[in-house]
Chains A and B, each alone.
Chain A
Amino acid sequence: MTAPTTNPATEDSATAPDEEELLAHFDALIADGETIEPRDWMPDGYRRMLVRQIAQHAHSEIIGMQPEGAWLTRAPSLHRKSVLLAKVQDEAGHGLYLYSAAETLGVDRADLLDALHHGRQRASATFNHPALTWADTGAIAWLTDGAAVINQAPLCRTSYGPYARAMRRVCQEEAFHVRQGYDLMRALCEGTSEQREMAQDAVNRWWLPAVALMFGPPDTEAGGADARTAALGAAVSRRAMAWGIKRHTNDELRQRFVDTCVPQAERLGLTLPDPAIRWNEERGHYDFTPVDWDTYRRALGDDTHWARQRIAHRLAAHEDGAWVREAAVAYAARTDEPAGAAA
């Protein structure tokens, strides 16, 4: 190999700022609470963590349409049907806001969907549980959307600009989801004894998926993880918090959720299915059964019938819709020609 007459490496370092300088600038922006924007330099790890989190979030929104969407044709009144339609449409919208945010990081949404369809990326396992009765649509909205609001409110201030802006739209709409879910549950609780039983049964089945899965695995010892698991979870959370992607540990947000739900359940006259729930004067919080690693795994319901069903349904919808996408491409190509030439 012949030696180059000029050394390109030397030339580059004279013009381009080196990585250390770029990293220092990035860290300074994060420290000042400024947002990172799409064309800013960012560490690879930051970009990877964001793509992973935003994609998982987007996938959860569109998979989350399924348990409730299944009740659209069976809503008990036109009013409840209109509300549920609006809610399920919002979930699709949330997925699209988030895929749009992910694409600013240089990935393609078609690749993200492909990864979901083929198991390389996942949606939240919360939605691998079936919605067995009408009351489930209320319990899902009140509990899992309620959990989402607590999880997502801090994400409105996450360090990556497009993600934060998408989350502000999402959060505004989630507030409607939770309120209508609570209203649905209240209507059942003020109804016949069968309706009250149906509401209680739905809460019994949706409490664990909400409290365990919507906040991620335990990441503190106080939250119920053994020392090793807590250390692992804490390392991931610490990294995400140092980069300003996350603002709180999973267990902190989980506690906030329990504190919010207990008085709401009391007002409905429903019992949350956890005998350990008790006000702790000393801590100023409600105690509850810690979500340890076993509880978390049990709630995951990995590789169950419903987990496979959700992906199969999503894939079928995607494939059944192929002709629409093809027709849209053909139409767009056709309108390039002078309009009304044949008329």
Chain B
Amino acid sequence: MSAAREGAPASWEVFLRARRGLAHQHVGSVRAAGPDAALAAARDLYTRRGEPLSLWVVRSDALHTASPDERDPYFAGARHKPYRYPEHYAPLTEKGPEGEHHA
């Protein structure tokens, strides 16, 4: 996201819940002067079809994000920890739905 140009409308990230049972999903961004205008622009742009249920807009510069450069120290929780997964353990039946049991 580039720095805001002088006088240019702010950038807003758009999140849409397209159907019942789904979480809001990021779909893109719009430019708008304020939150109401951003919501109207997001509606016009991202909900022309289907039966969308809900829209969120969040100012792009208000998002606090982790950088992919920090991947290893930051998101180290899942790698090298096979014991967090069910397949790591002996199956509950002779030949369980998970296949062979991992040694």
Binding site for B on A (CB under 8 A): 37, 39-41, 86, 89-90, 93, 96-97, 100-101, 103-104, 106-111, 162, 165-166, 169, 172-173, 325, 328-329, 331-332, 335
B36 adjacent to A166 (CB under 8 Å): no
Number of B interface residues in the complex (CB < 8 A):
26
Point out the residue from A86, A100, A335 that lies within 8 Å of B30, measured CB to CB: A100
Is B8 a contact partner of A103 (Cβ separation < 8 A)? no
Smallest CB gap from A162: residue in B: B28
* A39-B68 contact, Cβ under 8 Å, with A108-B8, A110-B5: yes
Known: A109-B31, A329-B7, A331-B34. 17 other contacts (CB 8 A): A39-B67, A89-B48, A93-B44, A96-B45, A97-B28, A100-B29, A103-B2, A103-B29, A104-B1, A169-B27, A173-B48, A325-B9, A328-B9, A328-B32, A328-B33, A332-B35, A335-B34
Contact present for B2 and A106 (CB under 8 Å)? yes
A70 smallest CB distance to B (angstroms): 22
**Given known A103-B11, A103-B29, A166-B28, contact A97–B45 (CB-CB < 8 A):** yes
- Expressed in whole angstroms, the Cα–Cα distance for A264 and B65 within the complex equals 50
Please give the residue numbers on chain B whose beta carbons come within 8 Å of chain A beta carbons, in ascending order. Answer: 1-2, 5, 7-9, 11, 27-37, 44-45, 48-49, 65, 67-69
Question: Contacts A325-B33, A328-B32, A332-B34 given: A40-B68 contact, CB under 8 Å?
Answer: yes
In angstroms, Cα B69 to Cα A165, docked, is 23
Chain A residue with the shortest CB-CB distance to B37: A328
A111 cross-chain contacts in B, Cβ below 8 A: 5
Inside 8 A of B33's CB, which chain A residues have their CB?
A: 325, 328-329, 331-332
* Alpha-carbon separation in the docked complex, A99 to B9 (Å): 14
Q: Give chain B residues whose Cβ lies under 8 Å from the Cβ of A108.
A: 2, 5, 8
Q: Among the interface residues A103, A165, A166, which one has the most CB atoms of the partner chain B within 10 A?
A: A103
Q: A106-B2, A325-B33 are in contact. Are A100 and B28 (CB under 8 A)?
A: yes
B34→A328 contact, CB < 8 A? yes
Least CB separation from B40: chain A residue: A328
Q: How far is the CA of A111 from the CA of B34 in the complex (A)?
A: 21
Min CB distance B65 to A, Å, is 8
List the B residue with the shortest CB-CB distance to A107. Answer: B2
Q: Decide: A90 near B37, CB < 8 A? Known: A96-B30, A107-B2, A110-B5.
A: no
Which among A89, A90, A162, A169 has the highest number of chain B CB atoms within 10 Å? A169
Give Cα A116–Cα B48 distance, bound, in whole angstroms.
27
Ordered nearest first, which 9 A-B pairs have the shortest CB separation?
A: A332-B34, A332-B33, A328-B33, A100-B28, A329-B33, A100-B29, A108-B2, A110-B8, A106-B2
Contact B45 A93 (CB under 8 A): yes
Separation in Å of the B67 CB from the closest CB of chain A? 6
User: What would be 15 A-B contacts, judged by CB atoms less than 8 Å apart?
Assistant: A37-B68, A39-B69, A90-B48, A93-B48, A100-B29, A100-B30, A103-B11, A108-B2, A108-B8, A165-B27, A169-B27, A172-B49, A325-B33, A331-B33, A331-B37
